[in-house]
Structure 1
């Protein structure tokens, strides 16, 4: 689960700052509005040209590919000297066909990047399962939530640090 910026996520607070490059698959999804770009959601790089994110990040505003950007390798949004990040244009948005904005059922989307990602130490795809299995494989297992969310309590603005 990756919580989107700007939305309340009480289950996603109480974290700690991640080490630089500790989540090399994490993508920052930004959208353009009125000529200004702003971080909106998180996502996961799943291969050299695709990012998995939440459909509500794209559909709830009628966003087009030209209004969506992906940053990979980011850590601290306040500075540019702690990690080398790369920005990518989006060629195609593919929200889940069963996405329901009222219930958030099917709240998944895949972004196709306009160019292939060149992997490096701080930019790598997520380790998705490669074989079919049952949900029972994951019951009782530890999961990690990563993103630019609140570190403690309810903050007026999301953290600028991963």
Structure 2
């Protein structure tokens, strides 16, 4: 599973963030790993990418997210819920780093509200999607923008782009820099073999199997999987989990693992109801 990275003491970082003034104090990044394969991001091609810090039971969880308005971040539900009960965590346990490829340079925003999809199933990671309402609106500019949801039909063989600060290998290496990696979608049959509930790339999930050496990993959860429509990047998926048929483990970046992503456009009605943003605006049609 592309779970939050939750293996380090969080006290020092928690104190620093708790005292931080939103939009001015940089988010420390001593525990962030990177995406597997791919390359470091130069410039600001993904100005909507958000780094999330989640404090739970004395450890710091690391996830990604996407800015869909000046007040809302879209991410995975499993980043914001207790692993044993599926209960949403407190908004005060989460902070969002916005506006930079470097976590150290990102501006920290506090969270007003955590909204987890009402049908989220923490045992199977179904409906693995959640929203964060920021305490203060983000100032949008050339380096900080929102992303629209991709409503295009995705098919096997399409190449999408995953972005994140997650681990670069199954052992991981500390880094501060946003990375990108190409992910080839499908084959649907192999994805179904890994998870029998999966039947289509245009339902509630997307899936990519056999992307050896190119993958998302722990710390990337909730982060964006992007579709290029020829003009701009759109949000096609949220990093959710990996599954290896016939095995109890699912190491990142191996040829036998299928990676699953929540498809935000499938949930556009829920997102619109929760945020008050019109469907047309969410889909980039307004």
TM-score after normalising by structure 1: 0.76
Between Structure 1 and Structure 2, whose CA radius of gyration is higher?
2
Deviation at 1:40, TM superposition (A): 1.3
* Count of aligned positions: 144
Once residues 120 and 39 of structure 1 are traced to their aligned partners in structure 2, the CA distance between those partners, rounded to angstroms, is: 28
Q: Residues 53-132 of structure 1: matches in 2 within 5 Å?
A: 53-60=75-82, 62-77=88-103, 79-80=104-105, 85-129=106-150
SS at structure 2 position matched to 1:144: strand
1:19 has 2:42 as partner:
yes
Gaps spanning 5+ residues in structure 1: where? Answer: none
Aligned to 1:154: 170
Could you state the TM-score of these two structures normalised by the residue count of structure 2?
Answer: 0.45
Q: Distance in 1 between matches of 2:125 and 2:61?
A: 21
SS at match of 2:69: coil
Runs of at least 5 residues in structure 2 that lack an aligned partner in the other structure: 7-34, 179-286
Instruction: Kindly indicate whether the alpha-carbon contact (under 8 Å) linking 1:30 and 1:40 is maintained by their aligned counterparts in 2.
Output: yes
The 8 Å contact of residues 55 and 61 in structure 2, kept in 1 or not, is answered as: no
1:88 and 1:96 mapped to 2: Cα distance?
A: 22
* Contact residue 27 and residue 42 of structure 1 kept, 8 A: yes
Could you tell me whether the CA contact under 8 Å between 1:45 and 1:51 is conserved in 2? yes
Structure 1 residues 150 and 40, CA, compared in 2 at 3 Å: closer, same or farther? closer
Aligned to 1:6: 5
Cα drift, residue 39 of structure 1? 5.4
Q: Distance in 2 between matches of 1:70 and 1:91?
A: 11
State the superposition RMSD in angstroms: 2.5
Structure 2 counterpart of 1:142: 159
Mapped to 1, the partners of 2:140 and 2:42 lie a distance apart of 19
> Structure with the greater relative contact order (CA < 8 A, sep ≥ 6): 1 or 2?
1
Report the Cα distance in structure 2 between the residues aligned to 1:111 and 1:48, rounded to whole angstroms.
Answer: 11
Query: Going by fraction, where is helix more abundant, 1 or 2?
Result: 2
